[in-house]
Amino acid sequence: MRIRVINPNTTESMTALIEASARAVAGPGTVVEAVTSGMGPASIESHYDEALAVPGILAAVAEPADGYVLACFGDPGLDAAREVASGPVVGIAEAAMHAAAMVGRGFSVVTTLSRTKGRAHDLATRYVAAGACRGVHACDIAVLDLEHDPGARKEVIDLARHALERDGSDVIVLGCAGMAEFAAAASAELGVPVVDGVAAATVLVESLVRLGLRTSVREEYAPPPPKRYTGLLADFTRS
Ligand SMILES: O=C(O)C[C@H]1NC(=O)NC1=O
């Protein structure tokens, strides 16, 4: 099978990190096709960035694949992508939170900027039972600095340790695709499961494809009603 793993921001080096995390867990019969969005923000750290990332996501899911991963913790454009993708679409926050809820009593999210904490809470409300997400904590390291800041890994792990104590949680969810490579070291140091949403989403999409499950086209996720689109979007939308 072929899984298209989409980095919704336009930073190639981050796509490489995402690709490595997805390939590390993909099964022997799975081809991971990691792609960088062709248009939009260099990183996604606000509602504005999320909105401007969606056209690139929709263009990326328009290409055929057996399944798709949206490798951005805000799960931008997830519902719209499900209306047009040829296979199941899973967001990394969705996958990470579900996985975390299955291996512990309550998880804490460690994310980047404080301004994105509300989004993580909103997604937890959508995806998991009340109380499953015990808290969301921000390290206030910008997304693109995670890769270049030599102290980032330690800051994230120290914050995760604080979160476990403060929240009384027993699992950590990494709140950014750019933190994927911290998961193993964090789990070894903290002694708890640390969930990287890129890996979780890759395995979950593989499982859905193996189960023969695709997004239902009855009602909400049916293909969008045909209509005229004008302006720049006319090139990227279905007519
Ligand atoms: O929402 C965030 O802070 C993280 C999110 N932004 C991004 O460009 N890739 C991500 O995973």
Are residues 183 and 208 located together in one domain of the fold? Answer: no
Ligand 1 centroid to 220 CA: how many Å?
26
- CA-nearest residue, atom 7 of ligand 1: 44
CATH number of the domain within which 106 lies: 3.40.50.12500
Are residues 9 and 81 part of one domain?
yes
Q: Count Cβ atoms below 10 Å from residue 1 Cβ, excluding itself.
A: 16
Q: Ligand 1 — pocket residues by CB below 6 A?
A: 9, 43-45, 72-74, 111-113, 116, 143, 176-177
Mutation probe of ligand 1 site: the residue of 69, 112, 115, 121 with most atoms within 8 A of C-beta: 112
Q: Whose CA is nearest to atom 4 of ligand 1?
A: 176
Same domain, 104 and 10: no
Q: What is the pLDDT of residue 159?
A: 98
pLDDT value of residue 164: 98
* Domain limits for position 178: 93-197
Query: Which residue among 12, 121, 176 has the greatest number of ligand 1 atoms within 8 angstroms of its CB, and so is best to mutate?
Result: 176
177 CA → ligand 1 middle, Å: 6
Is residue 140 domain-shared with residue 230, that is, in the same domain? Answer: no
DSSP-derived secondary structure for the chain: -EEEEEESSS-HHHHHHHHHHHHHH--TT-EEEEEE-SSS-SS--SHHHHHHHHHHHHHHHTS--SEEEE-STT-TTHHHHHHH-SS-EEEHHHHHHHHHHHSSS-EEEEES-GGGHHHHHHHHHHHS-TTSEEEEEE----GGGTTT-TTHHHHHHHHHHHHHHHHT-SEEEE-SGGGGGGHHHHHHHHSS-EEEHHHHHHHHHHHHHHTT-----SGGGSPPPP----GGGGGTS--
Considering the domain architecture, whether residues 72 and 32 belong to the same structural domain is answered as yes
Residues 79 and 104 in one domain: no
Count how many domains the chain has: 2
Same domain, 123 and 33: no
* Domain identity same for 113 and 60: no
185 and 228 share one domain = no
Give the list of residues 6+ apart from residue 191 with CB closer than 8 angstroms, or none: none
Residue listed under structure tokens 């989403």? 201
**Mutation probe of ligand 1 site: the residue of 43, 52, 117, 141 with most atoms within 8 A of C-beta:** 43
| pLDDT tens-digit profile, the chain (239 residues) | 999 999 999 999 999 999 999 999 999 999 999 999 999 999 999 999 999 999 999 999 999 999 999 999 999 999 999 999 999 999 999 999 999 999 999 999 999 999 999 999 999 999 999 999 999 999 999 999 999 999 999 999 999 999 999 999 999 999 999 999 999 999 999 999 999 999 999 999 999 999 999 999 999 999 999 999 988 777 666 65
Q: How far apart are CA 121 and CA 150, in angstroms?
A: 28
Cβ atoms of 194 and 187 closer than 8 Å: yes
Interface ipTM above 0.90:
yes
Q: Please check whether residue 80 is in contact with residue 147, taking contact to mean a CB–CB distance below 8 angstroms.
A: no
| Distance between Cα 174 and ligand 1 center (Å) | 10
- CA distances (Å), 182 to each of 156, 160, 196, in order? 8, 11, 8
Q: The whole model's pTM is what? A: 0.96
